[in-house]
Structure 1
Amino acid sequence: MSAGTAPGATEPGGSVQVSQQGAIATVTLSNPGRRNTMTEAMWRALEPACARLADDGSVRAVVVRGAGTDFSAGADISDLRAILRDEDSGRHDGGAVAAGEAALAGLHKPTIAAVEGYCLGGAWQIAAACDIRLASSAATFGITPAKIGIVYPTAGIERLVRIAGPATAKYLLFSGDFVDAERARVLGLVQAVHPAEAFWGEVDAFAERLASRSQLSIQAMKDIVDTIDSAGGGEHGRAQLARANEHWQQLMTTSGDAETGVKAFLAKRTPEFTWNGGRDVQRHARQSMGTGDPAL
Protein backbone atom coordinates (compact mmCIF):
# COMPACT_ATOMS: atom_id res chain seq x y z
CA MET A 1 0.00 0.00 0.00
CA SER A 2 1.54 3.27 -1.03
CA ALA A 3 1.17 6.52 0.87
CA GLY A 4 -2.02 8.29 -0.05
CA THR A 5 -5.52 9.23 0.92
CA ALA A 6 -8.28 6.75 1.61
CA PRO A 7 -11.00 6.63 -1.06
CA GLY A 8 -13.61 9.33 -0.50
CA ALA A 9 -11.61 10.92 2.32
CA THR A 10 -10.46 14.18 0.78
CA GLU A 11 -12.45 17.36 1.11
CA PRO A 12 -11.38 20.97 1.59
CA GLY A 13 -10.11 21.32 5.14
CA GLY A 14 -9.79 17.69 6.14
CA SER A 15 -8.79 14.18 5.14
CA VAL A 16 -8.07 10.72 6.46
CA GLN A 17 -4.79 9.52 4.98
CA VAL A 18 -3.58 5.93 4.85
CA SER A 19 0.10 5.18 4.33
CA GLN A 20 2.34 2.19 4.87
CA GLN A 21 5.94 1.47 5.74
CA GLY A 22 6.81 -2.19 5.77
CA ALA A 23 4.13 -4.12 7.64
CA ILE A 24 2.91 -1.03 9.53
CA ALA A 25 0.02 1.03 8.18
CA THR A 26 -0.66 4.52 9.52
CA VAL A 27 -4.05 6.21 9.51
CA THR A 28 -3.55 9.96 9.84
CA LEU A 29 -6.32 12.38 10.80
CA SER A 30 -5.54 15.65 9.05
CA ASN A 31 -7.34 18.98 9.21
CA PRO A 32 -4.60 21.63 8.99
CA GLY A 33 -4.95 24.69 11.17
CA ARG A 34 -7.89 23.21 13.11
CA ARG A 35 -6.13 20.73 15.38
CA ASN A 36 -7.38 17.91 13.13
CA THR A 37 -11.04 18.39 14.03
CA MET A 38 -13.14 15.68 12.38
CA THR A 39 -15.60 16.73 9.67
CA GLU A 40 -18.46 14.49 8.58
CA ALA A 41 -16.48 13.36 5.52
CA MET A 42 -13.51 12.47 7.72
CA TRP A 43 -15.68 10.35 10.02
CA ARG A 44 -17.20 8.58 7.03
CA ALA A 45 -13.76 7.99 5.52
CA LEU A 46 -12.77 5.77 8.43
CA GLU A 47 -15.00 2.92 7.23
CA PRO A 48 -13.48 2.50 3.74
CA ALA A 49 -10.01 3.06 5.18
CA CYS A 50 -10.50 0.21 7.66
CA ALA A 51 -11.95 -2.04 4.94
CA ARG A 52 -8.86 -1.38 2.82
CA LEU A 53 -6.57 -2.25 5.71
CA ALA A 54 -8.55 -5.40 6.52
CA ASP A 55 -8.13 -6.67 2.96
CA ASP A 56 -4.41 -5.88 2.64
CA GLY A 57 -2.47 -8.99 3.66
CA SER A 58 0.80 -7.06 3.87
CA VAL A 59 -0.50 -4.98 6.82
CA ARG A 60 0.20 -6.56 10.20
CA ALA A 61 -0.35 -3.59 12.55
CA VAL A 62 -2.11 -0.23 12.31
CA VAL A 63 -1.19 3.08 13.98
CA VAL A 64 -3.80 5.85 14.24
CA ARG A 65 -2.44 9.36 14.76
CA GLY A 66 -3.07 13.01 14.02
CA ALA A 67 -1.14 15.14 11.56
CA GLY A 68 1.32 17.54 13.16
CA THR A 69 1.36 17.84 16.94
CA ASP A 70 -2.25 17.02 17.88
CA PHE A 71 -4.21 13.79 17.70
CA SER A 72 -7.53 15.60 17.18
CA ALA A 73 -9.64 18.20 18.94
CA GLY A 74 -12.73 16.09 18.23
CA ALA A 75 -15.76 16.50 15.98
CA ASP A 76 -16.09 19.67 13.93
CA ILE A 77 -18.74 21.53 15.95
CA SER A 78 -19.92 23.48 12.90
CA ASP A 79 -20.72 20.12 11.24
CA LEU A 80 -22.11 18.46 14.36
CA ARG A 81 -25.74 17.95 13.34
CA ALA A 82 -24.72 16.22 10.12
CA ILE A 83 -22.06 14.18 11.91
CA LEU A 84 -24.41 12.81 14.59
CA ARG A 85 -27.47 12.26 12.39
CA ASP A 86 -28.19 8.72 11.27
CA GLU A 87 -29.21 8.91 7.61
CA ASP A 88 -31.43 5.82 7.82
CA SER A 89 -33.33 6.60 11.01
CA GLY A 90 -33.14 10.39 10.91
CA ARG A 91 -32.21 10.36 14.59
CA HIS A 92 -29.23 12.14 16.09
CA ASP A 93 -27.85 9.01 17.75
CA GLY A 94 -24.35 8.63 16.39
CA GLY A 95 -24.45 8.81 12.63
CA ALA A 96 -21.01 9.12 11.08
CA VAL A 97 -19.29 9.02 14.48
CA ALA A 98 -20.80 5.65 15.35
CA ALA A 99 -20.03 4.24 11.90
CA GLY A 100 -16.39 5.34 11.97
CA GLU A 101 -15.86 4.16 15.53
CA ALA A 102 -17.42 0.77 14.78
CA ALA A 103 -15.26 0.29 11.68
CA LEU A 104 -12.09 0.91 13.65
CA ALA A 105 -13.16 -1.25 16.60
CA GLY A 106 -14.10 -4.05 14.21
CA LEU A 107 -10.76 -4.15 12.40
CA HIS A 108 -9.33 -7.60 13.11
CA LYS A 109 -5.68 -6.45 13.05
CA PRO A 110 -3.93 -4.89 16.08
CA THR A 111 -4.51 -1.14 16.31
CA ILE A 112 -2.54 1.46 18.26
CA ALA A 113 -3.74 5.00 18.98
CA ALA A 114 -0.65 7.22 19.18
CA VAL A 115 -1.83 10.31 21.07
CA GLU A 116 0.18 13.51 20.98
CA GLY A 117 -1.21 16.92 21.93
CA TYR A 118 -4.98 17.23 22.20
CA CYS A 119 -7.34 14.23 22.17
CA LEU A 120 -10.72 15.75 22.90
CA GLY A 121 -14.39 14.89 22.56
CA GLY A 122 -15.07 12.58 19.65
CA ALA A 123 -11.36 12.05 19.14
CA TRP A 124 -11.36 10.04 22.35
CA GLN A 125 -13.89 7.71 20.73
CA ILE A 126 -11.41 7.07 17.92
CA ALA A 127 -8.60 6.40 20.39
CA ALA A 128 -10.86 4.21 22.54
CA ALA A 129 -11.82 2.10 19.53
CA CYS A 130 -8.16 1.09 19.14
CA ASP A 131 -6.76 -1.91 20.98
CA ILE A 132 -3.93 -0.04 22.69
CA ARG A 133 -3.38 3.64 23.47
CA LEU A 134 0.11 5.14 23.81
CA ALA A 135 0.44 8.76 24.89
CA SER A 136 3.11 11.41 24.69
CA SER A 137 3.85 13.10 28.01
CA ALA A 138 2.58 16.27 26.30
CA ALA A 139 -0.85 14.75 25.52
CA THR A 140 -4.10 16.17 26.92
CA PHE A 141 -7.39 14.27 27.10
CA GLY A 142 -10.92 15.57 27.52
CA ILE A 143 -14.34 13.96 27.07
CA THR A 144 -16.57 16.97 26.73
CA PRO A 145 -20.27 16.41 25.84
CA ALA A 146 -21.45 18.33 28.91
CA LYS A 147 -19.63 21.45 27.70
CA ILE A 148 -21.81 21.70 24.59
CA GLY A 149 -25.03 20.00 25.68
CA ILE A 150 -24.98 16.84 23.58
CA VAL A 151 -25.45 13.15 24.37
CA TYR A 152 -22.73 10.85 23.12
CA PRO A 153 -23.65 7.75 21.10
CA THR A 154 -24.13 4.84 23.47
CA ALA A 155 -21.36 2.74 21.87
CA GLY A 156 -18.77 5.34 22.87
CA ILE A 157 -20.10 5.61 26.42
CA GLU A 158 -20.22 1.83 26.76
CA ARG A 159 -16.60 1.54 25.62
CA LEU A 160 -15.50 4.23 28.08
CA VAL A 161 -17.24 2.40 30.95
CA ARG A 162 -15.53 -0.87 30.02
CA ILE A 163 -12.13 0.83 29.78
CA ALA A 164 -12.21 3.06 32.85
CA GLY A 165 -15.15 1.87 34.98
CA PRO A 166 -18.47 3.63 35.68
CA ALA A 167 -17.24 6.07 38.34
CA THR A 168 -14.34 7.35 36.22
CA ALA A 169 -16.60 7.50 33.16
CA LYS A 170 -19.06 9.68 35.09
CA TYR A 171 -16.26 11.91 36.37
CA LEU A 172 -14.94 12.53 32.87
CA LEU A 173 -18.34 12.84 31.18
CA PHE A 174 -19.98 15.02 33.83
CA SER A 175 -17.09 17.45 34.31
CA GLY A 176 -15.62 17.63 30.81
CA ASP A 177 -12.32 18.36 32.60
CA PHE A 178 -9.05 18.00 30.72
CA VAL A 179 -6.52 15.55 32.14
CA ASP A 180 -2.85 15.26 31.33
CA ALA A 181 -1.19 12.11 30.05
CA GLU A 182 -0.07 10.77 33.40
CA ARG A 183 -3.49 11.31 34.95
CA ALA A 184 -5.01 9.57 31.91
CA ARG A 185 -2.73 6.60 32.55
CA VAL A 186 -3.77 6.43 36.20
CA LEU A 187 -7.43 6.54 35.15
CA GLY A 188 -6.85 3.66 32.74
CA LEU A 189 -7.39 5.61 29.52
CA VAL A 190 -3.92 4.83 28.16
CA GLN A 191 -1.54 1.91 28.60
CA ALA A 192 1.76 3.81 28.53
CA VAL A 193 3.11 7.36 28.60
CA HIS A 194 6.43 8.15 26.91
CA PRO A 195 8.55 11.34 27.06
CA ALA A 196 7.57 13.72 24.28
CA GLU A 197 11.05 13.78 22.77
CA ALA A 198 11.14 9.97 22.46
CA PHE A 199 7.46 9.37 21.72
CA TRP A 200 7.47 8.51 18.03
CA GLY A 201 10.49 6.26 18.38
CA GLU A 202 8.62 4.34 21.09
CA VAL A 203 5.48 4.12 18.94
CA ASP A 204 7.45 2.84 15.95
CA ALA A 205 9.30 0.27 18.05
CA PHE A 206 6.09 -1.02 19.64
CA ALA A 207 4.28 -1.26 16.30
CA GLU A 208 7.23 -3.17 14.84
CA ARG A 209 7.09 -5.61 17.76
CA LEU A 210 3.43 -6.29 17.16
CA ALA A 211 4.03 -6.77 13.45
CA SER A 212 6.78 -9.30 14.17
CA ARG A 213 4.60 -11.42 16.46
CA SER A 214 2.32 -14.24 15.36
CA GLN A 215 -0.75 -12.68 13.77
CA LEU A 216 -2.60 -15.93 14.42
CA SER A 217 -1.99 -15.43 18.14
CA ILE A 218 -2.79 -11.70 18.07
CA GLN A 219 -5.97 -11.99 16.01
CA ALA A 220 -7.15 -14.96 18.08
CA MET A 221 -6.46 -13.19 21.38
CA LYS A 222 -8.15 -10.03 20.11
CA ASP A 223 -11.25 -12.00 19.18
CA ILE A 224 -11.28 -13.94 22.45
CA VAL A 225 -10.70 -10.87 24.64
CA ASP A 226 -13.43 -8.96 22.79
CA THR A 227 -15.76 -11.94 23.19
CA ILE A 228 -15.13 -12.04 26.93
CA ASP A 229 -15.69 -8.29 27.12
CA SER A 230 -18.91 -8.22 25.10
CA ALA A 231 -20.55 -11.56 25.84
CA GLY A 232 -20.52 -11.23 29.62
CA GLY A 233 -21.17 -14.10 32.01
CA GLY A 234 -23.93 -16.64 32.01
CA GLU A 235 -24.52 -19.66 29.85
CA HIS A 236 -24.78 -17.72 26.58
CA GLY A 237 -21.50 -15.89 27.18
CA ARG A 238 -19.68 -19.09 28.11
CA ALA A 239 -21.01 -20.78 24.98
CA GLN A 240 -19.81 -17.92 22.77
CA LEU A 241 -16.38 -18.04 24.38
CA ALA A 242 -16.14 -21.81 23.99
CA ARG A 243 -17.00 -21.61 20.29
CA ALA A 244 -14.48 -18.82 19.68
CA ASN A 245 -11.78 -20.77 21.49
CA GLU A 246 -12.58 -23.93 19.52
CA HIS A 247 -12.37 -22.06 16.22
CA TRP A 248 -8.96 -20.59 16.98
CA GLN A 249 -7.56 -23.77 18.50
CA GLN A 250 -8.44 -25.61 15.29
CA LEU A 251 -6.91 -22.88 13.15
CA MET A 252 -3.73 -22.98 15.24
CA THR A 253 -3.12 -26.56 14.07
CA THR A 254 -3.24 -25.54 10.39
CA SER A 255 -1.84 -22.00 10.23
CA GLY A 256 1.83 -22.99 10.57
CA ASP A 257 2.61 -20.28 13.12
CA ALA A 258 2.88 -22.68 16.07
CA GLU A 259 5.34 -24.89 14.20
CA THR A 260 7.33 -21.82 13.13
CA GLY A 261 7.45 -20.45 16.66
CA VAL A 262 8.45 -23.72 18.34
CA LYS A 263 11.22 -24.42 15.81
CA ALA A 264 12.61 -20.91 16.21
CA PHE A 265 12.50 -21.15 20.00
CA LEU A 266 14.37 -24.46 20.03
CA ALA A 267 16.92 -23.12 17.55
CA LYS A 268 17.32 -19.90 19.62
CA ARG A 269 16.48 -17.66 16.67
CA THR A 270 13.80 -15.07 15.94
CA PRO A 271 10.70 -16.60 14.33
CA GLU A 272 9.47 -15.31 10.99
CA PHE A 273 5.71 -15.71 11.10
CA THR A 274 3.87 -15.55 7.79
CA TRP A 275 0.17 -16.15 8.58
CA ASN A 276 -2.12 -13.13 8.29
CA GLY A 277 -5.49 -14.75 7.81
CA GLY A 278 -7.66 -11.74 7.12
CA ARG A 279 -11.14 -10.70 8.07
CA ASP A 280 -12.74 -13.73 6.41
CA VAL A 281 -11.25 -15.83 9.20
CA GLN A 282 -12.62 -13.43 11.80
CA ARG A 283 -16.02 -13.37 10.11
CA HIS A 284 -16.10 -17.17 10.19
CA ALA A 285 -15.30 -17.09 13.90
CA ARG A 286 -18.20 -14.70 14.53
CA GLN A 287 -20.59 -16.73 12.41
CA SER A 288 -19.61 -19.90 14.25
CA MET A 289 -20.73 -18.12 17.42
CA GLY A 290 -24.06 -17.30 15.82
CA THR A 291 -23.50 -13.53 15.52
CA GLY A 292 -23.00 -13.34 11.77
CA ASP A 293 -21.79 -9.75 12.10
CA PRO A 294 -20.75 -8.70 8.57
CA ALA A 295 -18.58 -5.87 9.91
CA LEU A 296 -15.99 -8.28 11.24
Structure 2
Amino acid sequence: MTLRLLRQGAIATLLIDSPARRNAMRRDMWQALPDLVAEAEADPAIALLCLVGEGAHFCGGADISEFASGYATPQAAAESNAQIRAAVEALAGCTKPTLALIRGACVGGGVALALACDLRLASDTARFAVTPVKLGLIYSQADTQRLMQAVGAGRAKEMLFSARQVPAAEALAIGLVDRLWPETDFDAAIAAYAEGLAATSRPALRGVKAMVAGIAAGAPPDAPDLAALFEAPFQGEDFAEGSAAFLARRPPRFTAG
Protein backbone atom coordinates (compact mmCIF):
# COMPACT_ATOMS: atom_id res chain seq x y z
CA MET A 1 0.00 0.00 0.00
CA THR A 2 1.37 3.41 -0.96
CA LEU A 3 -0.71 5.17 1.69
CA ARG A 4 0.22 4.06 5.19
CA LEU A 5 -0.57 5.00 8.77
CA LEU A 6 2.51 5.09 11.00
CA ARG A 7 2.66 5.66 14.74
CA GLN A 8 5.40 7.16 16.90
CA GLY A 9 4.27 7.76 20.45
CA ALA A 10 1.27 10.07 20.48
CA ILE A 11 1.80 11.18 16.88
CA ALA A 12 0.31 9.36 13.90
CA THR A 13 1.63 9.98 10.40
CA LEU A 14 -0.37 9.38 7.25
CA LEU A 15 2.40 8.77 4.72
CA ILE A 16 1.84 9.20 0.98
CA ASP A 17 4.52 6.82 -0.26
CA SER A 18 4.84 7.08 -4.02
CA PRO A 19 7.88 9.31 -4.52
CA ALA A 20 8.55 8.15 -8.09
CA ARG A 21 5.27 9.87 -9.07
CA ARG A 22 5.73 12.88 -6.77
CA ASN A 23 3.27 11.19 -4.40
CA ALA A 24 0.35 11.51 -6.81
CA MET A 25 -2.79 9.94 -5.38
CA ARG A 26 -4.24 6.90 -7.16
CA ARG A 27 -7.85 5.85 -6.76
CA ASP A 28 -6.98 3.09 -4.30
CA MET A 29 -5.17 5.67 -2.17
CA TRP A 30 -8.15 8.04 -2.13
CA GLN A 31 -10.34 5.05 -1.19
CA ALA A 32 -8.04 4.00 1.65
CA LEU A 33 -7.67 7.42 3.23
CA PRO A 34 -10.98 7.67 5.15
CA ASP A 35 -10.43 4.35 6.93
CA LEU A 36 -6.89 5.32 7.91
CA VAL A 37 -8.07 8.66 9.29
CA ALA A 38 -10.80 6.84 11.24
CA GLU A 39 -8.21 4.42 12.61
CA ALA A 40 -6.07 7.26 13.91
CA GLU A 41 -9.09 9.05 15.33
CA ALA A 42 -10.28 5.94 17.18
CA ASP A 43 -6.91 5.25 18.82
CA PRO A 44 -6.83 6.91 22.27
CA ALA A 45 -3.02 6.82 22.24
CA ILE A 46 -2.93 9.22 19.28
CA ALA A 47 -3.05 12.95 19.99
CA LEU A 48 -2.67 14.29 16.47
CA LEU A 49 -2.33 13.25 12.84
CA CYS A 50 0.35 14.44 10.41
CA LEU A 51 0.04 14.16 6.62
CA VAL A 52 3.37 13.91 4.79
CA GLY A 53 4.75 12.82 1.45
CA GLU A 54 7.71 10.47 1.15
CA GLY A 55 10.85 12.01 -0.27
CA ALA A 56 11.21 15.44 -1.84
CA HIS A 57 7.53 16.24 -2.52
CA PHE A 58 4.27 16.46 -0.59
CA CYS A 59 1.67 15.48 -3.19
CA GLY A 60 1.34 15.99 -6.92
CA GLY A 61 -2.46 15.68 -6.80
CA ALA A 62 -4.57 13.00 -8.44
CA ASP A 63 -2.61 10.55 -10.59
CA ILE A 64 -3.16 11.74 -14.15
CA SER A 65 -2.40 8.28 -15.55
CA GLU A 66 -5.83 7.17 -14.27
CA PHE A 67 -7.79 10.01 -15.86
CA ALA A 68 -8.65 8.12 -19.06
CA SER A 69 -10.43 5.37 -17.15
CA GLY A 70 -11.56 7.38 -14.13
CA TYR A 71 -13.33 10.04 -16.19
CA ALA A 72 -14.32 8.04 -19.29
CA THR A 73 -18.07 8.40 -18.67
CA PRO A 74 -20.27 10.67 -16.55
CA GLN A 75 -20.83 7.80 -14.11
CA ALA A 76 -17.10 7.06 -13.83
CA ALA A 77 -16.36 10.75 -13.30
CA ALA A 78 -19.02 11.00 -10.59
CA GLU A 79 -17.58 7.95 -8.81
CA SER A 80 -14.01 9.24 -9.04
CA ASN A 81 -15.00 12.66 -7.75
CA ALA A 82 -17.01 11.12 -4.91
CA GLN A 83 -14.00 9.07 -3.79
CA ILE A 84 -11.76 12.12 -3.77
CA ARG A 85 -14.38 14.20 -1.98
CA ALA A 86 -14.86 11.50 0.67
CA ALA A 87 -11.11 11.35 1.30
CA VAL A 88 -10.70 15.11 1.65
CA GLU A 89 -13.78 15.43 3.87
CA ALA A 90 -12.61 12.56 6.10
CA LEU A 91 -9.40 14.48 6.72
CA ALA A 92 -11.27 17.76 7.24
CA GLY A 93 -13.69 16.07 9.65
CA CYS A 94 -11.08 14.51 11.91
CA THR A 95 -11.71 15.72 15.47
CA LYS A 96 -8.02 15.51 16.37
CA PRO A 97 -5.56 18.18 15.17
CA THR A 98 -4.19 17.51 11.69
CA LEU A 99 -0.92 18.91 10.33
CA ALA A 100 0.14 18.97 6.68
CA LEU A 101 3.94 18.78 6.54
CA ILE A 102 4.86 20.15 3.14
CA ARG A 103 8.07 20.16 1.16
CA GLY A 104 8.50 20.30 -2.59
CA ALA A 105 5.49 20.10 -4.89
CA CYS A 106 1.96 20.52 -3.50
CA VAL A 107 -0.32 20.59 -6.52
CA GLY A 108 -4.04 20.31 -7.31
CA GLY A 109 -5.51 17.62 -5.09
CA GLY A 110 -2.43 17.91 -2.90
CA VAL A 111 -3.42 21.48 -2.08
CA ALA A 112 -6.94 20.24 -1.31
CA LEU A 113 -5.52 17.70 1.16
CA ALA A 114 -3.29 20.34 2.75
CA LEU A 115 -6.20 22.78 3.08
CA ALA A 116 -8.28 20.06 4.76
CA CYS A 117 -5.71 19.94 7.57
CA ASP A 118 -5.80 22.33 10.52
CA LEU A 119 -2.27 23.62 9.97
CA ARG A 120 0.12 23.70 7.02
CA LEU A 121 3.77 23.62 8.06
CA ALA A 122 6.17 24.05 5.16
CA SER A 123 9.79 23.83 4.15
CA ASP A 124 11.19 26.68 2.08
CA THR A 125 11.36 24.18 -0.81
CA ALA A 126 7.55 23.97 -0.89
CA ARG A 127 5.72 25.25 -3.95
CA PHE A 128 1.98 25.29 -4.52
CA ALA A 129 -0.22 25.30 -7.62
CA VAL A 130 -3.93 24.80 -8.13
CA THR A 131 -4.12 23.67 -11.72
CA PRO A 132 -7.61 22.45 -12.79
CA VAL A 133 -7.95 25.15 -15.46
CA LYS A 134 -5.01 23.56 -17.29
CA LEU A 135 -7.22 20.51 -17.75
CA GLY A 136 -10.36 22.46 -18.59
CA LEU A 137 -11.72 21.86 -15.07
CA ILE A 138 -12.52 23.86 -11.94
CA TYR A 139 -11.93 23.21 -8.24
CA SER A 140 -14.83 21.76 -6.24
CA GLN A 141 -16.99 24.00 -4.05
CA ALA A 142 -15.52 22.64 -0.81
CA ASP A 143 -11.93 22.94 -2.03
CA THR A 144 -12.53 26.45 -3.39
CA GLN A 145 -14.13 27.49 -0.11
CA ARG A 146 -11.15 26.27 1.92
CA LEU A 147 -8.76 28.07 -0.42
CA MET A 148 -10.80 31.28 -0.06
CA GLN A 149 -10.82 30.92 3.73
CA ALA A 150 -7.03 30.61 3.70
CA VAL A 151 -6.04 33.36 1.26
CA GLY A 152 -9.18 35.43 0.54
CA ALA A 153 -11.42 35.54 -2.50
CA GLY A 154 -9.19 37.72 -4.66
CA ARG A 155 -6.03 35.67 -4.17
CA ALA A 156 -7.99 32.45 -4.56
CA LYS A 157 -9.27 33.61 -7.95
CA GLU A 158 -5.79 34.68 -9.00
CA MET A 159 -4.33 31.28 -8.09
CA LEU A 160 -7.20 29.42 -9.78
CA PHE A 161 -7.18 31.60 -12.91
CA SER A 162 -3.42 31.49 -13.44
CA ALA A 163 -2.63 28.00 -12.10
CA ARG A 164 0.78 29.48 -11.38
CA GLN A 165 3.36 28.15 -8.98
CA VAL A 166 3.33 29.92 -5.61
CA PRO A 167 6.69 29.70 -3.80
CA ALA A 168 6.92 29.02 -0.08
CA ALA A 169 7.67 32.58 1.03
CA GLU A 170 4.64 33.94 -0.85
CA ALA A 171 2.48 31.10 0.48
CA LEU A 172 3.39 32.16 4.02
CA ALA A 173 2.73 35.83 3.27
CA ILE A 174 -0.78 35.19 1.89
CA GLY A 175 -1.84 32.70 4.58
CA LEU A 176 -1.66 29.52 2.53
CA VAL A 177 0.84 28.11 5.04
CA ASP A 178 1.03 28.79 8.76
CA ARG A 179 4.72 28.22 9.54
CA LEU A 180 7.81 28.07 7.35
CA TRP A 181 11.31 26.72 8.06
CA PRO A 182 14.48 26.29 6.00
CA GLU A 183 14.74 22.81 4.49
CA THR A 184 17.91 22.18 6.52
CA ASP A 185 15.92 22.64 9.75
CA PHE A 186 12.57 21.28 8.62
CA ASP A 187 12.59 17.73 9.97
CA ALA A 188 13.83 18.79 13.41
CA ALA A 189 11.48 21.78 13.54
CA ILE A 190 8.31 19.86 12.66
CA ALA A 191 9.23 17.04 15.03
CA ALA A 192 9.63 19.51 17.90
CA TYR A 193 6.45 21.33 16.95
CA ALA A 194 4.35 18.16 16.75
CA GLU A 195 5.77 16.79 19.98
CA GLY A 196 4.95 20.07 21.71
CA LEU A 197 1.33 19.86 20.60
CA ALA A 198 1.07 16.18 21.54
CA ALA A 199 2.27 16.97 25.07
CA THR A 200 -0.67 19.29 25.76
CA SER A 201 -4.17 18.30 26.89
CA ARG A 202 -5.83 16.15 24.24
CA PRO A 203 -9.40 17.07 25.22
CA ALA A 204 -8.34 20.72 25.08
CA LEU A 205 -6.85 20.28 21.60
CA ARG A 206 -10.08 18.72 20.37
CA GLY A 207 -12.08 21.43 22.11
CA VAL A 208 -10.10 24.22 20.47
CA LYS A 209 -10.69 22.61 17.08
CA ALA A 210 -14.43 22.28 17.74
CA MET A 211 -14.66 25.87 19.02
CA VAL A 212 -12.95 27.33 15.96
CA ALA A 213 -15.04 25.16 13.63
CA GLY A 214 -18.28 26.28 15.30
CA ILE A 215 -17.37 29.95 15.04
CA ALA A 216 -16.23 29.57 11.44
CA ALA A 217 -19.55 27.90 10.63
CA GLY A 218 -21.40 30.99 11.82
CA ALA A 219 -22.34 30.18 15.42
CA PRO A 220 -24.21 33.08 17.06
CA PRO A 221 -22.74 34.86 20.10
CA ASP A 222 -23.16 32.77 23.26
CA ALA A 223 -24.14 29.66 21.31
CA PRO A 224 -25.22 27.09 23.94
CA ASP A 225 -23.13 24.24 22.53
CA LEU A 226 -19.98 26.36 22.39
CA ALA A 227 -20.66 27.76 25.87
CA ALA A 228 -20.90 24.17 27.15
CA LEU A 229 -17.71 23.30 25.29
CA PHE A 230 -15.96 26.17 27.11
CA GLU A 231 -17.36 25.39 30.55
CA ALA A 232 -16.86 21.60 30.63
CA PRO A 233 -13.04 21.49 30.95
CA PHE A 234 -13.12 23.38 34.27
CA GLN A 235 -14.38 20.15 35.86
CA GLY A 236 -11.92 17.94 34.00
CA GLU A 237 -8.86 16.04 35.15
CA ASP A 238 -6.58 17.95 32.80
CA PHE A 239 -7.49 21.31 34.36
CA ALA A 240 -6.72 19.92 37.82
CA GLU A 241 -3.38 18.54 36.60
CA GLY A 242 -2.53 21.69 34.64
CA SER A 243 -3.28 23.91 37.62
CA ALA A 244 -1.24 21.74 39.98
CA ALA A 245 1.67 21.67 37.56
CA PHE A 246 1.59 25.44 37.15
CA LEU A 247 1.66 25.99 40.92
CA ALA A 248 4.45 23.43 41.34
CA ARG A 249 6.39 24.94 38.43
CA ARG A 250 6.68 21.58 36.65
CA PRO A 251 5.51 20.32 33.27
CA PRO A 252 1.97 18.92 33.36
CA ARG A 253 1.53 15.18 33.05
CA PHE A 254 -1.64 14.87 31.01
CA THR A 255 -3.03 11.39 30.40
CA ALA A 256 -4.41 10.07 27.11
CA GLY A 257 -8.06 10.92 26.71
Counting matched residue pairs gives: 257
- Separation in 2 of the partners of 1:130 and 1:82? 29
Give the conservation status (yes or no) of the 8 Å contact 1:36–1:67. yes
The answer as to 2:252 corresponding to 1:271 is yes
Residue matched to 1:7: none
Give the conservation status (yes or no) of the 8 Å contact 2:19–2:56. no
Give the conservation status (yes or no) of the 8 Å contact 1:84–1:97. no
**Offset of 1:254 from its aligned partner?**
3.8
**Offset of 1:154 from its aligned partner?**
1.1
Residue matched to 1:165: 152
Write the letter of the residue equivalent to 1:256: E
Residue matched to 1:16: 3
Moved more, 27-36 or 51-60: 27-36
Q: Give TM-score, length-normalised by structure 1.
A: 0.81
Residue matched to 1:5: none
- Separation in 1 of the partners of 2:203 and 2:251? 16
Write the letter of the residue equivalent to 1:238: P
- Separation in 2 of the partners of 1:82 and 1:137? 36
Unmatched tracts of structure 2, length 5 or more = none
Give the conservation status (yes or no) of the 8 Å contact 2:44–2:256. no
Residue matched to 2:230: 249
Residue matched to 1:77: 64
Inter-CA distance 125–264: structure 2 relative to 1 (3 Å threshold):
same
Bigger fraction of residues in helix = 2
Moved more, 109-118 or 247-256: 247-256
- Separation in 1 of the partners of 2:19 and 2:93? 28
Give the conservation status (yes or no) of the 8 Å contact 1:69–1:116. yes
Identity %: 36
Instruction: Give 1:227's match in structure 2, choosing from 211, 214, 217.
Output: 214
Residue matched to 2:114: 127
Inter-CA distance 190–177: structure 2 relative to 1 (3 Å threshold):
same
Q: Give TM-score, length-normalised by structure 2.
A: 0.93
The 5 A counterparts of 1:38-57 are: 38-57=25-44
Instruction: Give 1:155's match in structure 2, choosing from 142, 153, 160.
Output: 142
**Offset of 1:90 from its aligned partner?**
7.0
Write the letter of the residue equivalent to 1:194: W
Give the conservation status (yes or no) of the 8 Å contact 2:129–2:166. yes
Give the conservation status (yes or no) of the 8 Å contact 2:70–2:80. no
Inter-CA distance 79–247: structure 2 relative to 1 (3 Å threshold):
farther
Unmatched tracts of structure 1, length 5 or more = 1-9, 277-296
Instruction: Give 2:240's match in structure 1, choosing from 250, 259, 269.
Output: 259
The 5 A counterparts of 1:208-223 are: 208-223=195-210
Deviations 1:264-292 (A, max 9, x none): 0010000011152xxxxxxxxxxxxxxxx
Give the conservation status (yes or no) of the 8 Å contact 1:112–1:133. yes
Inter-CA distance 208–126: structure 2 relative to 1 (3 Å threshold):
same
Secondary structure of 1:33's counterpart equals helix
Write the letter of the residue equivalent to 1:252: P
- Separation in 1 of the partners of 2:123 and 2:79? 33
